[in-house]
Amino acid sequence: MAEIKNNPLLTPLNLNNPITVQVLGICSALAVTSKLQPALVMGLSVTVIVAFANVIISLIRDTIPNRIRIIVQLVVVATLVTIVSEVLKAYAYDVSLQLSVYVGLIITNCILMGRLEAFAMSNGPWASFLDGIGNGLGYAGILVAVGFVRELFGSGALFGFKIIPQSLYDAGYMNNGLMIMPPMALLLLACIVWYHRSKEKSLQEN
């Protein structure tokens, strides 16, 4: 158990999940989850960027002057995000249109700065890489779960394909418009946190 607890790859998936336990990156979780596809792309982009930013910061952690370390972290993140955004614009234009401003918002995603400051500044590159992948996937997992529910009930579709048959609409079924609105993401997120804490007693506060 102790081994799993300290595993940088697996703990962020569950006991130290960036969204439900560290409560980081909530803003983007609300914004991009009205459909499944942008949620997945956002999750994967964050995973890649956290992992590489973690490695870079971890490699140069001994050279970073303490007084400007936050600035250095920010510059590394901003550079990576800009490069990813440029690559998306060149090779996945449709996706970059959908993500539009959110790609830029990755820079301000608290998960990045949180992991860099809390983990990469004091751990080796390999452990930092695993920590980045773990936290990114922990984040992506929650995003996909929320996106799944919101697109299914909000638009009756998954990845843009109609799932709910037309006959059901003819019988009077209607898409839930509230599901597409950001408040519903907050409520769904709260449900996930609730379920998570009821399962993991160690997370409960007295």
Nearer to another protein, 19 or 179 (CB): 179
CA distance 162 to 178: 18
Nearer to another protein, 69 or 197 (CB): 69
Question: Which residue number, 86 or 195, has a Cβ lying nearer to another protein?
Answer: 86
Tokens linked to 149: 């529910």
Give every CB contact of residue 53 below 8 A, 6+ residues apart in sequence.
Answer: 73, 76, 77, 80, 112, 115, 116, 120, 132
Question: Which residues of the chain form contacts with another protein (CB under 8 A)?
Answer: 34, 62-68, 71-72, 75, 79, 82-83, 86-87, 89-91, 93, 97, 100-101, 154, 177, 180-181
Q: Nearest approach, Cβ of 155 to another protein (angstroms)?
A: 9
Query: Coil, helix or strand for 206?
Result: coil
Shortest approach of another protein to residue 100 CB, angstroms? 7
Q: How far apart are CA 28 and CA 182, in angstroms?
A: 10
Closest approach, Cβ 17 to another protein, in A, equals: 26
Angle, helices 36-59 vs 69-91, to 10°: value is 140
Shortest Å distance, C-beta 89 to another protein: 5
Q: Which is nearer to another protein, 21 or 32 (CB)?
A: 32
CA distance 119 to 67: 18
